[in-house]
With several copies, the nearest count.
Chain A
Amino acid sequence: MTDATDKRMSLAEASALVRDGDTLVAGGCCYSRTPWAMLLELLRAERRDLTLARNLMCYESELFLASGAATKLVASWVGIGLKWGIPKVFREYVERDPAIYEEWSHLSFGLRLLAGSMGMPFLPTASMLGSDLLERTPAVEMRCPFTDQKLVAVPALVPDVALIHVQRADPAGNAQIDGPVYMDVEFARAAETVIVTAEEIVSPDEIVRTADRTAIPGFVVDAVVEVPFGSYPHECHGRYEADFDHFDAYAELVERDGVEGVQAYLRENVDGPGSFAGFLDKVGATRLLEQTRRARELVAA
């Protein structure tokens, strides 16, 4: 391997690839395989004026709004999960200024990134036809040039940076994903810059042995960071289950204290520990091991 293809760096170094004003897309889905460590690193680096795009968004939505990092969210749904409902502070922000949350249908959102990843400025779909969503997005109606049927054209989304968390990658960025791939492949292909965090960095030979499992080719990747438990307290398929107790505590805090609850959460989990490793220490080994045990119960056939 040449130096040119070794893209390993630290979270802090990778965060320098994100500039104020960028449009970011974060992989995974809701509380699954979220690039949580990288998201927290951007909060720590105090990036500003970001647009955060994610198909189903969890409570990173309100961390980014309340910290002042993001000024706009693009998604098809924002909520922590069935049990906890819609994040309260997010709601407050959006009810004050509905324009900061641009809502798409789930597939329409995905097709915007698929268009970007195909190098096309748009893609057609049957979603959003007849709905009020259509009027509040840049999507437009169009006719098929062959059948004349009515369709919706969604414009490509080409994010400045994609943040992707995977189970394994080699130093050049060839990345493999276990379980559902969500929209990560489209995100990585569409974005101008791609930051991959991985549960483990493996040798190129390990990737070669299972090349038909590689989801993201190294040539689209700009940074590779090894971050075990990099999605925690969200889940990572096959590795650890989401920490619902952590969500419960967060939801309770925010229910009680609103924006100040979010600030308190950030102080305790981002600024206080000073690093993601520090955050994991705070969580403690016992808890991390328990979450990995629970994951094994679910993926064992």
Chain B
Amino acid sequence: MSDATPVELMTIAGSRLLRDGRVVFAGVGAPLEASVLAKRLHAPGLTIVLEGGSIGPRMLPGRLPVSTNEMRAAHHASMLTSINDLFLYGQRGHYDYGFIGAGQLDQYGNVNTSFIGDPDRPKVRLPGSGGANDIVSSCREVMIMTRHEPRRFVERVDFITSPGYLTGPEARRSAGLVRNRPVAVVTDLALLGFDEETGRLRLDALQPGVTQQQVQANTGFELLVSDAIDELAPPTQQELQELRRLRDGDPTDVPETRKVTSAP
């Protein structure tokens, strides 16, 4: 499927990381789309949770939410609760995956969504943490999804809104972040993991047709490289169709996973 857009490539690669029967705390946008796609295709027992208090929603195709707390994000949920409770289930350890986007991130997976430039005289004020800081501080396996551009992949973020490995695993541990860890960064060019010893980003797999050089050229720091770099399978027709139907599709179309829930 050579006509997949970069965002589609990234979203589909992200969806494949999510296993059936798990719970994913997804940010709005691409992480949510990846989660919904996974649930519709290979992980029908995946439970999606959204910041606004929505547990187990199913999205109406063509009516994806623009914010994680609106009615479209609550559609067909099994539980609608308070925001504090939604996060505290995570702090208790009930969420397998935390899946967020990133404005700017660095070689240790630290994410900045607060300030570009000096925080006291910022060049650009960004929207802020929202739930991102809480997600990376609590969900068992943290995954980040973002376009692969040099301005996003910087050596050192201007401000750590949401900590990755800080300056390495020991720094993360001694900061008190002992319950969970960042595991993957998914982009339109590659799938990256973290080196266990240094906590630095490592190139694990390439999107179809992308070269290692291209990835490095779009990264503002030196990437570690896995001993055996994989190439990700291209999006299947089913993945691409389903993703597009989700975004633009017929909202009256009842998904498979919903049909089978009608009788206990």
Contacts and interface: CB of A to CB of B under 8 A. Distances in A.
Touching chains A and B, CB distance < 8 Å: yes
B209 interface: no
A126 interface: yes
B67 interface: yes
A82 B66 contact: yes
A60 interface: no
Interface residues of A, number: 93
Contacts, number: 277
A70 interface: no
For chain B, the bracket of interface size reads 35 or more
Interface in A32-85: 32, 55-56, 75-79, 81-83, 85
Chain A CB within 10 Å, residue with most, of B44, B82, B120, B251: B82
Chain B CB within 10 Å, residue with most, of A78, A130, A179: A130
Interface string A142-154: 0000000111100
Contacts of A132: 114, 119, 159-161
Contacts of A83: 66
B104 interface: no
Contacts of B45: 1-2, 4-5
Interface stretch (A198-206, A257-265, A278-286): A198-206
B77 A211 contact: yes
A179 B93 contact: no
B129 interface: yes
Interface string B66-110: 110111101111111111100111111110000000000000000
Interface of A: 1-2, 4-5, 8, 29-32, 55-56, 75-79, 81-83, 85-86, 91, 94-95, 98, 101, 103-108, 110-111, 114, 116-120, 125-133, 136, 141, 149-152, 170-172, 174, 179-183, 185-186, 189-190, 201-205, 207-208, 211-212, 214, 217-220, 235, 237-238, 241-242, 244, 295, 297-299, 301
Given A56-B69, A95-B125, A105-B132, 11 more contacts: A2-B20, A76-B128, A77-B130, A86-B125, A118-B92, A131-B161, A133-B161, A149-B176, A150-B175, A151-B176, A214-B81
15 contacts: A5-B21, A55-B83, A76-B130, A91-B124, A98-B119, A98-B121, A110-B87, A118-B92, A152-B176, A182-B52, A211-B74, A214-B81, A217-B55, A218-B78, A244-B66
